[in-house]
Every structure is written in C-alpha cells, then in structure tokens.
A and B are shown apart, each in its own frame.
Chain A
C-alpha cells in the first residue's frame, strides 16, 4: 500500500514537473532576440527582433532579415501577426518587457502613447536622408523613420471618365448622375473603416490652413464643424454620393476593386496600394488618380502609412544593433533594393531611387516631388477614432436615407469629442 501511495504521489508530481522540465528540451533555442536583456552572456552578437503591422511585406521582410544576417552575422527575428491585432500585441509585449527591438508606429497619436518606448533617432546618420517633413517627430525628437510615401484620391477608369468632369461639386455630381442613369456605379467606397470614412474624411481637415491646429481647436471645443465651410461642402458631397451610388456597405475592398476592374464602377476612392490588386484582376484599360474636388481641391492626399521605430526600453547594444539594421535597410544597395523592389514602397528617402512604378504610385510620386499635395490629416486624429467612432456614424448615414449631410457632420463632431476626451 505504502509503495502504491508513493507511486501515485510520484506520478502526479511528475506530471507537473516533467512538464516544466520538458520546457528545456521541447522549447528549443531561446531565440537570439531575447538574449540581450539578461546577464552579460549574450555578448557574441546581439540579435534583434522586428514586429510590424504591414502584413503584406512580412515575407519580404523575412527575406531582408536573412540577407542581413548573411552579410553581418547578426540574427534578426521577424515576429508574425495578422494586421488586426498588431496594436494589442505590441502593447502587451512592451509591457511585459519582451518588446521587439524595432516596431512600427502608425502615426503621431500612437507615438504619443508609446512615447517612453521610442528611441530618439536624431543622431543616426541615415535620417538625414529622409525627405523633408516625412519623419515622425515628437517635439524635437525624431522617433519614426517613414516606411515610404503613399497617397489616395479618386482612382478612375480613363476610358469612362474625363478628369475635366470631376473638377468641382457640380461637375462631380452630374457625372455621378449620368453614370447612375446608365446603371454604372459612379463612385465606389467600401465598407472597411478607412475606405468608408477614414480616408475621405481627410479632405475637409486637410484643407484647413493649419490642419493640426484646427484639430486641436476641435478637441478643445473651440470650433463647430457645421460652421466650417469645408465641412458643409463635405456633407453635401456625401449626400450626393449616397443618392447616386449603391451602398458601400455591401462592398468589400476586394469587390470594390473588382467592380472597378470589371468596368462596373467608373471611379473608386482608393490609394496607390490598390495597384497590386488591380494587377490580380488583370485590368485591360488605363486608370489614373485624380484629386477629390472638395472646394476646388486639386491635390492628392499624400502621407506616410507607417514608421519604423526603435525600442528605447532595450539595452544600448540592442538599440545600436537595431539602428544599424535600419541604416543597412536604407543605405546599403541590398537594403534599398528590398525597400523599392520587394516591399514595393515609394521611397521617402532622398537617397533611394524609386523603381518601376505602377500608374497610381507614379502619380503619387510626382505629386510628392512637386509638393502639390495635401497632408494626411487622419494621422493626427485621436487614436482609433476612425474604426471606433467615425465608422458607426458613417454606417448609419448610409443606412438611413433621411440623415442629412449636415447631421453627418454633426455626428462626426460628436464622435470626435467622444474619442478625444
């Protein structure tokens, strides 16, 4: 009996302990990414880890990391994620001290929240090559290196639309009406937060004299949107779009672009990133990008989609290693090739030549070079206001035919206040 009891005790404890012990064997290596923070043993080569939100380039980034390791011997771990949960995972990782050495920061709002984790890159050599005003600054600290330049506007089918017909409100609306009469979708939005309202809501903000200051005033309750002309016009535009096109809520990004490629939609509101998908659809006509004509606007909205940041919470060796990787990416021939050819970015660095570009990216690059652009106001919106607050407003606008454009603007203001509090 006694034997039996011992046996049992042993069994059950073995169950738990073997599990813990097995960790050593089953888990394999600890990963170079982690080594640096503990003890002094990780001297031989400080590895780095990268965590970033643009899933489309994950594979290419892994290839770049491999190339880098081959050249320098520094191990680089690229941590995977789906786009949806990037922010949450980053927050958890930073909090428990397992944060990556390099991560992506979408915009100023996010940067402010993560301020204490952002290393000041002013002293890094390669940042002098960043195109004017494209770096991510917090006060006088340079905390983000732009991925590349992106832009959005009206993507139109050149066989169906003459850009002269979408120069102002009246011509735009009559074009929509004409298409509507022919049974063609004149202007396609789609149901995803940024494609439904996030991007298009930029225009009235971006056209203010100083958009950032304007947004501060809005947050402080010093301006009322319905009294601002650009917003009044914006409301009218949105009403016209709702009246003359099928509801965007039944459309996903895929079908929006697909309808355009099939000639069932004459114009869509999209950015140069859609070019890749248009290729998938084997488009057989020419397309181009035109400005959205709010209050006579004749410029494309151009900005930075995301930024590389270095984690200040790591020890100096790892920080230096991270900076060296970014330097390599933007200065070495191999690194630049990855940025332009593999990632497909329109470079935001003066020392990187753009590669062969699709028509949309070409339009964005030209606008960017000539300075004929309006900024991305949504990079200064309160964090997550687009998915959390603007989108429900836009959805009810498209669902309820009796909501006026003015009410839409009023509700957007309320949404802003809710998010900014």
Chain B
C-alpha cells in the first residue's frame, strides 16, 4: 500500500525493498517531527530536574548551596523505614486517596450523566458544578474553614444533630474526612468534564439500538455506557489518584496538617522535611520512595483499565 502511494514511478520489483526502507525512514521522520518538540521541552523541564533530585537523595544536606553536602549512601532510605511520622503520613495519604478516588468519581460520573441528559437546566448546572474547580486550592481551603466553623456548627445547633455537624477540622478522626469532602467538592466538577467528553464519544445509535431491543435504562448504562466509558474511567481514575497523592495546597490551608498531624499528607510531610527541618537530602529520599510506590500502583491501574477499553 505504502509503496504504491509514495513511489508510483518505481519499478514494481524494487518497490518492495527500496520502498519499504524509504517508507520506514519517512515514518521515523514523521514520528520525530510530531513528538520531539514536546518531549524535548518536557525532558528539560521535568525529567532532568527529577533526576538531579534523585541524586540529592544520597546526601546529607540542608539544601543551602554554601553548606556542606555529605554523601551518605543509602542512609536516608534506611532511616525512613523507621520514621513513624512518615509511615503514618503515608498511610493517611493512601486512605485519603482511596476514599477520594471513590467519592470524586462517583460524584463526577453522576453529574456527567445528569447534565448530559435532556434537562432544561443542564447547561446552567454544568457551569455551576464546575465552578469550585475554578477557585485555587489555597483560597478554597480558607473558605471551607469558614464553612466548617460557622455553617456546620450552626446546622448542628439548629437541627440538633450535633454529633454529625460540628467543626470536623478539630477532630482527629473527622479532619481527614473533611479533607476528602472538600477535595471531592473541588474535583467532582473536574472529572465531570472528562466524563462528559467520554459520554459525547458514545454514538447515539448504539444506545438507541439497545433501547429498541428493549434494554432498560439501567441495562443500557451497565452494558453499553460503562464499557464504552472505559477510556474516560482510565483518565479520571488516574487523574484523581495523582492529584490525591500530590495534594498540598488544600491540605495546607484547610487543616495545616492538624490536629496533631492527623492530616499531614505526603506532600506536606516532604515539604516540612525539606523546608521545615532543613533535611533536603532526606526529603528527596522520601519523595523518591513514595514516587516509586505510587507509580507502581497507578501504572498498574492504567494498565488494567486500558486493557478493558474497547477499541472501535
């Protein structure tokens, strides 16, 4: 095919050999043209600094250029296995992320289904539900402090459900849920956008055909919508996982890691190690270990959901 398309004048026998290699070279050429510009920038801005960061993980250093950097091999990595605050923070981060992934995606998908149905207010709702994401994480945390402090306690007093509506932020068990709650509020509209794009990609005829075949709404959703939404799931799950694991600004402004470190999530723990305690090398070691764990988990997730995607 390629041979006849690109080199019509070439004699037929040679076409196979020469044509193939020309086509091949062309192919590689196009490949490079399409990918190199972006990958070059990406490598320079993200990869190289990351690798430099790995290098620092093997040193005892406070991160001040003029102060001594002492090579200490794997000491940093050994140390973090016994660092209880780090281990606790890791556990909290996993818990937070798992809970958030579920709530964010459930809410996001529900919103997406609602606003793509033929409702009169769908357009308006689509904008309103997305609004929270437009506010930066820092401000958002401060606003929610108001809500938990004033609104929640007010609701508690008025309704009498004071065991549910109180200031969650000061309760070691509830503060993490408060964080999940706010994160869901922020991100649900975000993944909604991804799900909407996915739903838009499902050909109407397919669903219509199923309707004619007598499939109920629920059946249509489970048998057709869900499988065809697999790419959207891959994306949304991955995005929430990665944002969940990396969460910092909402964490900082909403709970500041408190009370009593009950919500000190991973990014904040690293941040405190590096800029609070001045252990730059050790902080980098933490970051790398965590990165490896998370990458293993999320890449597995991407691999699994990708496999389930239906190619059309």
Contact = CB atoms under 8 A, between A and B. Distances in A.
In the complex, A touching B, CB below 8 Å? yes
Interface of A: 5, 8-9, 12-13, 15-16, 84, 87-88, 91, 94-95, 113-117, 193, 247, 249-250, 252, 313, 383-384, 387-388, 391-393, 395-396, 399, 419
B64 A113 contact: yes
B37 A15 contact: yes
A247 B40 CA distance: 54
Given A95-B63, A250-B170, A391-B258, A87 B272 contact: no
Contacts of B276: 383-384, 387-388
B259 A249 contact: yes
A8 B33 contact: yes
Lowest 8 CB-CB distances: which A-B pairs, in order? A116-B66, A396-B260, A395-B259, A384-B276, A95-B65, A249-B170, A392-B260, A395-B260
Given A88-B275, A247-B170, A95 B64 contact: yes
A16 B258 contact: no
A396 B257 CA distance: 13
Contacts of A396: 172, 259-260
Interface centre among A15, A94, A395, A396, by most chain B C-beta atoms within 10 angstroms, is A395
Contacts of A114: 64
A134 to B, nearest CB: 26
22 contacts: A12-B37, A87-B275, A88-B275, A95-B64, A95-B65, A113-B67, A113-B278, A115-B66, A116-B64, A116-B67, A249-B258, A249-B259, A250-B167, A250-B170, A252-B149, A384-B272, A391-B258, A393-B260, A395-B259, A399-B170, A399-B259, A419-B277
B241 interface: no
B119 interface: no
Contacts of A95: 63-65
Contacts of B41: 16
Nearest to A82: B138
Given A91-B64, A388-B277, 8 more contacts: A94-B65, A95-B63, A117-B64, A252-B145, A313-B66, A391-B258, A392-B258, A399-B260
B277 A384 contact: yes
A394 to B, nearest CB: 9
A87 B62 CA distance: 13
Contacts of A113: 62, 64, 67, 278
Interface in B1-58: 29, 33-34, 36-37, 40-41
Nearest to B36: A12
A417 to B, nearest CB: 13
A250 B146 CA distance: 10
B252 interface: yes
A250 B63 CA distance: 36
A45 to B, nearest CB: 28
B261 interface: yes
Contacts of B170: 247, 249-250, 399
B60 to A, nearest CB: 12
B278 A383 contact: yes
Interface of B: 29, 33-34, 36-37, 40-41, 62-67, 145, 149, 167, 169-172, 252, 256-261, 271-272, 275-278
Contacts of A5: 29
Contacts of B252: 84
Contacts of A8: 33
A12 B261 contact: no
The interface centre, meaning the residue of A87, A115, A393, A399 with most chain B CB atoms within 10 A of its CB, is: A399
A383 B277 contact: yes
B50 to A, nearest CB: 16
B43 to A, nearest CB: 12
A188 to B, nearest CB: 15
A115 B277 CA distance: 16
Contacts of A94: 64-65
A203 B145 CA distance: 31
B167 to A, nearest CB: 6
A391 B263 CA distance: 13
Given A252-B145, A399-B172, A91 B261 contact: no
A198 B278 CA distance: 19
Given A84-B252, A87-B275, A392-B258, A117 B66 contact: yes
A399 B252 CA distance: 20
A111 B242 CA distance: 37
Given A113-B278, A384-B277, A399-B260, A16 B37 contact: yes
Contacts of B63: 91, 95
Contacts of B65: 94-95
A309 B53 CA distance: 29
Nearest to A11: B33
Contact of B40 (A16, A399, A419): A16
Contacts of B259: 249, 392, 395-396, 399
Contacts of A391: 258
Contacts of A193: 256
Contacts of A117: 64, 66
Contacts of A399: 170-172, 259-260
Contacts of B167: 250
A84 B251 CA distance: 14
A123 B66 CA distance: 24
A1 to B, nearest CB: 8
A396 B256 CA distance: 14
A289 to B, nearest CB: 28
A84 B275 CA distance: 11
A250 B62 CA distance: 35
A95 B278 CA distance: 14
A5 B6 CA distance: 13
A341 B252 CA distance: 34
Contacts of A250: 149, 167, 170
A421 B256 CA distance: 23
A250 B275 CA distance: 27
A13 B37 contact: yes
Nearest to A251: B149
Contacts of B261: 392
B3 to A, nearest CB: 15
Nearest to A312: B66
Contacts of B145: 252
